[in-house]
Amino acid sequence: MKQSSASDWAAQLAGQTRKANELSRHLDVSDEQRAEISEATAKFPMAITPYFLEKALDSPALLKQVLPTKDELEIGAADLADPLGEEHDEVAPGLVHRYPDRVLLLVNDVCASYCRFCTRKRMVGGRKLPFTKKRMQECFAYIRAHEDVRDVIISGGDPLMLPDASLEYVVAGLRAIPHVEIVRIGTRIPAFLPHRVTDELCAMLRKYQPIYFSLHFDHPDEVTGRTVDALAKLADSGFPLGSQTVLLRGVNDDVDTMRELMKRLTRCRVRPYYMYQCDLAIGIEHFRTTVEKGLEIVAGMRGFISGYACPTYVVDLPKGGGKVPVIPEYLKYQDGNRLVFRNFEGREYSYTEPTIDEPAVKRFPAVNE
């Protein structure tokens, strides 16, 4: 397992590709493409770590996730600046309280690399929500005053872009609130910047268990090399790992790719959690598939790979409606207390519900009979 240090990940951040002319050192980019990239990055910045760019040069699916294109300049009829209605449920700067027992704490607005399909394009990368202790204290005060909050999801941006001391300030502050039982860290760092997962980081976070990691992976090509080592370090440190995947046209919208991704994650002790329908953020319609395609992929995973490796397919409803699961129709019809189901192979099987108010058909014989 490769060891990482602060200097390793600092060097990666210093070497990020951020401009069209820098990108042309690695890719054959025409003058027209350079102009398009520059125009797109004026709307939403580009940043790609050297580590991820090196992998993306050999993987079109990875490159599509981080490469700006002219498609981002097209605004779809259903596109929304704040597709999930987070600002409507914001109770303090960067603190979103939608569900009864949990809050979302946005600690910063920067990432190691920027996904072109980001649901928070309105704020991420724009220095609109920087980390400050003053802002964190406002958020802590709200959480302390609301004893129904037992679960805090730390997100951003990417929380692991914070230095260890700043991240510890957040986690320790939450742990000092008696009714906060669970802390989750949402991060794409193991895919974009695995060098950030250091022994020092893990040792610091271990002091504040239970901490769960909500990771983000979209393609099996992301689960290689140093990323695998970083995941092993987190798992060996005792952190439960879950993953979420965004369904993306031209990246992972086929059954074979999704199956392989989920199998690789499970081998790395990462439990697939959600497969998201792509949100209605501005300029990303070219990434969205139909829900029908998502259901096709779900049906192609369930029964064909371990149930433990199958994520729940969800649509995070626009304007703050929250997440709703979407599943294929396995229940075909019901006739009285008899239900007929379709299994993963398409075969039909019946299941009989209990007849609580009717006598049993027969009984076991008595012991002395």
User: What residues act catalytically?
Assistant: 98-99, 102, 111, 115, 118, 120, 279, 316, 323
The C-alpha atoms of residue 72 and residue 273 are separated, in whole angstroms, by 28
At 41, list the tokens.
């990055």
For residue 360, what are the contacts with CB-CB under 8 A and spacing of at least 6?
none
Residues linked to residue 215 through DSSP beta bridges, in sequence order: 187, 243
Separation CA 38–CA 45 (nearest Å)? 9
CA 165/CA 131 separation, integer angstroms? 12
Identify residue 155 by its one-letter amino acid code.
S
Task: Measure Cα distances from 311 to 42, 263, 301, 302, 341 in Å.
Answer: 35, 11, 9, 9, 21
Whole-angstrom distance, CA of residue 67 vs CA of residue 59: 12
Tokens of residue 269, six digits: 């002790």
